[in-house]
Structure 1
């Protein structure tokens, strides 16, 4: 889990390759009382595998892995783990751009959680609304996006910032998602206000911290401050290089600014662009 949250994909791929067959064998060989525990470990391992598939653009493989993750979560008999699977399943809807259906799926999963049950339950509820907020914003539904982020912020106030069932959540994570919402909705003033004088805490996982600087760079792009875009993206790259190098939003912004800037700044964007890997939405089955 730590390697996934730190965007250490190369090492993660090797670990997952060894763990998956071992965990499947363990479930088959274990007495019935231990099978749910091994199934929960299997679900978390499939989540790590999905992070790699989704990151590198193998969206059909990602969808298949998420189905396997869901099966393992059901075997675990852990309702909150099922909620975390719904959070991951949101990736499918982002990839297909079926955003309203994805938002409804996340909302339905959140509605099944008894928030008062535990801190993990509150955090899972909050993460689902956090992701639903981004989906609504990307679909252009500002009111729904703000409703969802308010639900997430309310949940965040009741938990400690940290990693809950594999997802970073808490007040700082909610703030980073609020910045993402502002950027998706084109509200430059709100985006820059949210980022002004604030940095994500060092204890936060690298991937989430780098997200903050990616969205800050996108906000500076909307505000027509290309030098600040480059500075923000460089910081995101410093924190989590494997996360940034294939990030589609980073690539889109850098490609655009490389075309319209001049002189030393254009050269700087060209050098930054040379370190990016531009995926073509690959298919694991050659489609």
Structure 2
């Protein structure tokens, strides 16, 4: 039997690590009282709110928002939701298998879980230099947790990811303070990857200020780790900041400098870092309307992809398939019909991470719109949704494409209307 979707208040309670019973005990109320608050049929009294906010690790203003959204959700009938527990842990630098369970969660409930967990993530970052006491595993013991976080990001399991990240980041901060110099460097490397996973959630769900902060913290952690390949991964991610601000020339310069600093291209990890930076720079050049520069960067990335198997290196996917996805993105940015046709003749294999496959179909939908193929664009968006529903629903280009399709159809199909409603497009 499917579980009922979590209300925002219930999601915040779970994110803080409480059951209804343990929260009731902490606040000295009945468990049924907690249940009524979470169903939105009763609100905490004014004198109860400070204690509730403290337990949930949110401010009073954030608690008011949680309560308001909980009441709003209780006023409409909620659809069933399946909350799947992730079971796959993969090598951080190895190939990532596709998710074995493709059942789609009820999206609105999952979005509420993600937004409810963001305050806890912010507080974990606030206390990086003053982490709470608690269990502290060795860096080697935490490696599997980082692999799981990386896999959750790449497989678009953002709700599961953001629930665990605050405690994981706090534990890594403790390791960095308690261990010797080697352990501190190792913990800093793992912290960089944990922050990378957190940025995957923050950026996609519109927390641009939090994303910028996470990228700065990533750079600091990578410097402490004394790992030049992690610094290359940070430069790759930092491009998001420049995309948001429109500073494409600065983005190109940062990526080119980072590629020049990648050491020892004889190793697969170094070649992957070098290639990833160049394929990212190709997209920047395409967006800036510089086809020659884009072609130069793609040529460098293609050279690297011939010696690197498809996989995830320092949190970034690279290999022949990832390059094909970026070739399409460049063609779309340049509005190049020949490049679009060539890139669209390929389909991403099911072994690619769900987020990567979804991104390909989102870009392909934009390409089909450019070519006037509206039905094909719609089918691409459906394919993106099937591959990674959380990623697709949060992606602004999906809403833009759907809005364009709605404007061009005087009588849109029920499937298009349903997809637009699901993605909150108008």
Which TM class, normalised by the smaller chain length? over 0.9
How do 1:16-27 and structure 2 match up within 5 A?
A: 16-27=165-176
Aligned counterparts of 1:37 and 1:173: Cα–Cα separation in 2: 28
Within the candidate set 343, 349, 352, 1:194 is matched to: 343
Q: Say if 2:182 is the partner of 1:33.
A: yes
Higher helix share: 1
In the TM superposition, what whole-angstrom CA distance separates every residue of 1:75-96 from its partner, at most 9, and x where no partner exists?
Answer: 1111111111111111101111
Within the candidate set 207, 219, 222, 2:355 is matched to: 207
Q: Indicate conservation of the 8 Å contact 1:168/1:204, yes or no.
A: no
Within the candidate set 282, 288, 293, 1:144 is matched to: 293
In the TM superposition, what whole-angstrom CA distance separates every residue of 1:232-284 from its partner, at most 9, and x where no partner exists?
Answer: 1100110001111021111111111112213243x432211111147xxxxxx
Match of residue 231 from structure 1: 379
C-alpha RMSD of the superposition:
1.2
Q: Indicate conservation of the 8 Å contact 1:186/1:222, yes or no.
A: yes
Q: Say if 2:417 is the partner of 1:270.
A: yes
Aligned counterparts of 1:246 and 1:269: Cα–Cα separation in 2: 17
Q: Indicate conservation of the 8 Å contact 1:42/1:72, yes or no.
A: yes
Match of residue 284 from structure 1: none
How do 1:240-259 and structure 2 match up within 5 A?
A: 240-259=388-407
How do 1:1-287 and structure 2 match up within 5 A?
A: 1-196=150-345, 198-265=346-413, 267-277=414-424
**More displaced 10-residue stretch of structure 1: 256-265 or 147-156:** 256-265
Asked which structure has the greater CA Rg, the reply is: 2
Aligned counterparts of 1:201 and 1:227: Cα–Cα separation in 2: 23
**Structure 1 residues 160 and 231, CA gap change in structure 2 (3 angstroms):** same
**1:115 Cα deviation from its structure 2 partner:** 4.5
Q: Indicate conservation of the 8 Å contact 2:406/2:412, yes or no.
A: no
Aligned counterparts of 2:320 and 2:182: Cα–Cα separation in 1: 37
In the TM superposition, what whole-angstrom CA distance separates every residue of 1:193-238 from its partner, at most 9, and x where no partner exists?
Answer: 2222x21111111111111111111111011111111101100110
Q: Indicate conservation of the 8 Å contact 2:175/2:183, yes or no.
A: no
Aligned counterparts of 2:378 and 2:317: Cα–Cα separation in 1: 26
Aligned counterparts of 1:204 and 1:212: Cα–Cα separation in 2: 11
Secondary structure at the residue paired with 1:34?
helix
Aligned counterparts of 1:16 and 1:71: Cα–Cα separation in 2: 18
Aligned counterparts of 2:424 and 2:172: Cα–Cα separation in 1: 33
Aligned counterparts of 2:205 and 2:234: Cα–Cα separation in 1: 20
Aligned counterparts of 1:33 and 1:148: Cα–Cα separation in 2: 36
Q: Indicate conservation of the 8 Å contact 2:219/2:234, yes or no.
A: yes
Normalised to the residue count of structure 1, the TM-score between the two structures is 0.93
Aligned counterparts of 2:160 and 2:214: Cα–Cα separation in 1: 19
Q: Indicate conservation of the 8 Å contact 2:228/2:263, yes or no.
A: no
Point out where structure 2 has 5 or more consecutive residues left out of the alignment.
1-149
**Structure 1 residues 16 and 277, CA gap change in structure 2 (3 angstroms):** farther
**More displaced 10-residue stretch of structure 1: 31-40 or 125-134:** 31-40
Aligned counterparts of 2:394 and 2:189: Cα–Cα separation in 1: 30
Query: Where does structure 1 differ by over 6 angstroms across 4 or more consecutive aligned residues?
Result: none
Aligned counterparts of 1:68 and 1:264: Cα–Cα separation in 2: 46
